Amino acid sequence: MMSNKMASCWPSILVFNLLLLCSEENALGCPARCECTPQIRSVDCHRKRLSAIPDGIPSETKLLDLSKNRIRCLNPGEFLFFPRLEELDLSENVISVIEPGAFANLFWLQTLKLKGNQLKLIPAGVFNKLCNLTLLDISENKIVILLDFMFQDLQNLKSLEVGDNELLYISQKAFFGLVGLEQLTIEKCNLTTISTDSLSYLQGLEILKLCHLGISNLEDQNFRKLSSLKQLEIDSWTFLEDVCPTAFQGLNLTSLSITYTNLTSVPVAALKSLTYLEYLNLSYNPIRIIQRGSFRDLVRLRELHIVGAFLTVVELQAFYGLRQIRLLNVSNNLLSTLGENSFQSVNTLETLRVDANPLACDCRLLWILQRRKTLNFDGHQPVCASPVEIQGNALCDFPDSILFEYFTCQKPKIRDRKLQHIIAHEGQAVSFHCKADGEPVPLIVWVSPQRRMITSRSVGRSTVLPEGTLEIRYAQVQDSGTYICIATNAGGNDTYFATLTVKGDNSPYSNRTLYLSEYNETSHNDTHVFLKFTLDLKTILVSTAMGCITFLGVVLFCFLLLFVWSRGRGQHKNNFSVEYSFRKVDGPASAAGQGGARKFNMKMI
């Protein structure tokens, strides 16, 4: 049965056969300023200063190159006598107008290049009957809008280039009919949004490249109908600062690139659904820290590139979950080290790029040294930036005999361990100092009396300054207690304690607060411990209820104890005997009653 697609192209086939019969006299010619190659049926009129289609082009021509000329307009039937054309290159002319029917009857045309012209609008019908076209390039023009149905006859189109235009809007049905499109490139345009509805007609799309656009955010499920999409490239979106957690939901991507944007962190939530991802590129984004578990859901990921991203820290277990990682590229960053404890396992790693980083060659890099003979650095050897004595030496230059001479770590040691105890009033600023020596430079964190970790990234009234000082702004009574400074590096850790007492004399609740203090005579400083009781109605009611429940519980317990005790004292006699004597009375009755004492039994009930 004949398909609708072939049926729509039959008129072109009939015209093609008629033209073959009518143009035999033009079969062996060649335009005066062009170069012809009969063996491959090619006519090359590249850069010949032509202002129109030249005469003398053989009718059996398959490849026609008219690029870099001065052609301004394409009229209807312009290529009517070249029905065998398979490739037509009109790039870099000054074409501003293409009339509908200009490419009529080019049934066998597979490649059409209109790149680098002056087109502002392509009307519907220009690409009619191009049933076998597989590649269309209309990039580097001045196209402002893609109209509805302008590609509707291009059922076999595989690749479409529409980049580097002044594109402001893509109509909802602009891509209607592109059922076979596999690759779409939209770049260097003025688009501020990507319509989900317009992309919905590209259900066979496999590769989508969106580059140099002014889009500021990826919307909720922006690509949800592109079920066949495998490769997505987002490049040079300078306004993009965040990715919606559901932006990639429903996709089965194997390759994702988000480069040259303004992302400041790994979009963990958005990556969560991409369980089939094998390649990820987050290079050239201002990402300073890779946090723990950032890629935990990408169990199939094999390549990860984060180049030129200002990385300073790769946290413990940052690459946890990457069980199949083969290539890691974190070159050209600000990393001083890359610890083995950042990985799920380094045994799968084949290629590692850590060059162009200020690496501190200590015990944290020992794992790389031990694998330097089997690990591929892709021709870019890592170089030591410190310590000074080995600065500039490549890791591959160190012999095994001196590895443990240089690649060592010194346990942190906190300087000036004098006890710090501060008494402050509510609202005052408080600082505790903690400095430590060690190799590598220790990381200093503090632990609050409430067992909360305080770091340089902590948000709130408490933070740690770069030199290790704990700063508490607007101290409150609840801040009172013992603070612990922890200095840690790859060699170990050291701790130090400081205490804070915050008085609430100026607090509006001071009239309802009771303070108990204790003086520690064994120290040169006073140690105050505050116990705070808030005497309000709610506290009284709760305390009374708890007291009553406790009292009733004790009474019940006593009754149970007596019951158990009474049941455990052995057997009891329920019967007992009583002796008694009847008094004497006169008369016959007395005679009958003689005989001494009488007995009877009684039973206690």
- Summarised one tens digit per residue, pLDDT across range 501-524 is 999 865 443 333 333 233 333 333
pLDDT higher than 90, residue 469: yes
Specify the amino acid at residue 271.
Answer: L
Q: How confident is the model at residue 36 (pLDDT cuts 50, 70, 90)?
A: very high
Q: How confident is the model at residue 537 (pLDDT cuts 50, 70, 90)?
A: low
Is residue 274 within 8 Å of residue 251, measured between CB atoms? yes
Dist CA 112 CA 130 (whole Å): 10
- Give every strand in the sheet of 453-454, ordered side by side: 420-425, 492-503, 481-489, 443-447, 453-454
Dist CA 508 CA 515 (whole Å): 15
pLDDT higher than 80, residue 579: no
SS (H, E, C) 244-264: CCCCCCCCCCCEEEEECCCCC
Rg (CA), the chain: 44
* Of residues 179, 180, 175, the one with CA closest to residue 162: 175
Find the range with the poorest average confidence among 64-73, 449-458, 560-569, 572-581: 572-581
Phi, psi of 398 (to 5 degrees): -85, 125
Q: Which residues pair with 160 in a beta bridge?
A: 136, 184
Specify the amino acid at residue 444.
Answer: I
- pLDDT digit string, tens, across residues 209-242: 999 998 888 877 678 889 899 999 999 999 999 8
> Which stretch of DSSP H or E encloses residue 487?
strand 481-489
DSSP assignment letter at 583:
P
Task: Using the structure block, give the residue that is written with the tokens 């902590």.
Answer: 458
Is residue 179 within 8 Å of residue 157, measured between CB atoms? no
Domains and CATH numbers, the chain: 1-205 (3.80.10.10), 409-557 (2.60.40.10)
Specify the amino acid at residue 425.
Answer: H
Between vectors from CA 338 to CA 334 and to CA 342, what angle results, nearest 5°? Answer: 125
Is residue 302 within 8 Å of residue 278, measured between CB atoms? yes
Is residue 230 within 8 Å of residue 205, measured between CB atoms? no
Question: What is residue 395's predicted lDDT score, i.e. its pLDDT?
Answer: 86
Dist CA 308 CA 357 (whole Å): 10
Whole-model pTM over 0.85: no
Phi, psi of 559 (to 5 degrees): -60, -45
Structure tokens at 457: 């990234």
Dist CA 421 CA 545 (whole Å): 40
Dist CA 314 CA 307 (whole Å): 13
Is residue 169 within 8 Å of residue 143, measured between CB atoms? no
**Cis amide linkage into residue 76, ω under 30° from 0:** no
Q: Which residues pair with 430 in a beta bridge?
A: 472
DSSP assignment letter at 578:
E
Percent of the chain with pLDDT over 70: 82
Structure tokens at 264: 């400041």
- Give the pairing of strands 183-187 and 207-211: parallel
* Of residues 33, 85, 37, the one with CA closest to residue 55: 33
Specify the amino acid at residue 60.
Answer: E
pLDDT higher than 80, residue 332: yes
Is residue 390 within 8 Å of residue 384, measured between CB atoms? yes
